[in-house]
Amino acid sequence: MSASILISNDDGIYAPGIMALYQAVRPLGEVTVVAPETEQSAVGHAITIADPIKVRPVTRSDGFQGYAVSGTPADCIKLAVGELLPRPPDLVISGINLGPNVGISVIYSGTVSAATEGSILGIPSLAVSLATFQDPLWETAMQAVVPLVRQILRQGLPEHTLLNVNVPNRPVREIRGFRTSRMGRSRFVEVFHRRANPRGDVYYWLDGELQMLGDGVGTDVQAVADNFVAITPLHHDLTHTAALNALGGWCPPWPES
């Protein structure tokens, strides 16, 4: 039986990256596209509970049929698995995102969120991002996806694990291979641009850039800089186990005890 592959993204169903992903994986299984109607970048792991979620069939003249969803990437995966597909897919793939999802930006990423949701639902999942904001070499990311999908369909993934894949924006021949990595320690250095509207009301635009902290050895950021496709296994258990052990006797007494 052919593998069932669910694809989504956060750039929206009309983005070029999801078409590149579709074209890359179409030979590998039966592909269903369920993606946001509009761009949903930086939505983190949001879900839509205060509004209804609208679903609309979409036919892209340049390729696929799919479903456009008036919600977030996590909504798309929940809805596809819970309602639109006859059975859970064998694999969830989110992407191909225009822009890297490395270091702390993973926390804000809608692309990663779709794959996280897949892993929460117990489905092997990966998020794929192309590390550039301009002149994307989709072909390189497409080349990277195929062997990863083949391997996951054959071997699976460790339980409760998703793979966060970041592809350098270099020609295929310049890529040095795949490299497992960890999420780089980093933070955004925020810049708020303060403006006022004609009535004098103040508003801000959030801007900023990623600043790496500590050395980069073994990180996603370093792998991409070294022209490797970075493969970072992530999970959705946020417990800081080392801190939990360290906090053994930390708790204050209860006020009335």
Task: Please list every residue from 68 through 87 that binds a copy of itself, using CB under 8 A.
Answer: 70, 74-75, 78-79, 82-83
Closest CA to 5 of 18, 16, 17: 18
CA distance 73 to 70: 10
* Per-residue binding letters, 9-38, with a copy of itself (x by CB under 8 A): ------------------------------
Q: Which of 2, 87, 135, 173 binds a copy of itself (CB under 8 A)?
A: 173
Cis before 96 (ω within 30): yes
Q: Which of 148, 167, 221, 224 binds a copy of itself (CB under 8 A)?
A: 148
Q: Which is nearer to a copy of itself, 62 or 192 (CB)?
A: 192
Q: Show the CA angle centred on residue 130, arms to residues 128 and 18, nearest 5°.
A: 60
Question: Phi/psi at 169 (nearest 5 deg)?
Answer: -85, 70
Report how many residues bind a copy of itself under the rule CB under 8 A.
94
* CA diameter of the chain: 69
Interacting positions 193-222 with a copy of itself (CB under 8 A): 194-195, 201-206
Site membership for a copy of itself, residue 60 (CB under 8 A): no
Which of these ranges, 3-11, 19-27, 45-53, 124-132, lies near a copy of itself under the rule CB under 8 A? 45-53
Interacting positions 76-135 with a copy of itself (CB under 8 A): 78-79, 82-83, 104, 106-108, 113, 116, 120-122
Which of these ranges, 20-28, 90-98, 131-139, 239-247, lies near a copy of itself under the rule CB under 8 A? 239-247
Tokens representing 96 are: 């191909």
Q: Which is nearer to a copy of itself, 44 or 63 (CB)?
A: 44
Give residue 72's Cα distance to chain centre.
Answer: 12
Is 133 in contact with 93 (CB distance < 8 Å)? no
Q: Coil, helix or strand for 16?
A: helix
CA distance 154 to 39: 33
Q: Which is nearer to a copy of itself, 65 or 176 (CB)?
A: 176
Site membership for a copy of itself, residue 39 (CB under 8 A): yes
> What minimum distance in Å lies between the beta carbon of 141 and a copy of itself?
12
Residue given tokens 């792998």 in the structure block: 223
Which of these ranges, 5-13, 24-32, 126-134, 191-199, lies near a copy of itself under the rule CB under 8 A? 191-199
Give the number of other CB atoms < 10 A from CB of residue 207: 11
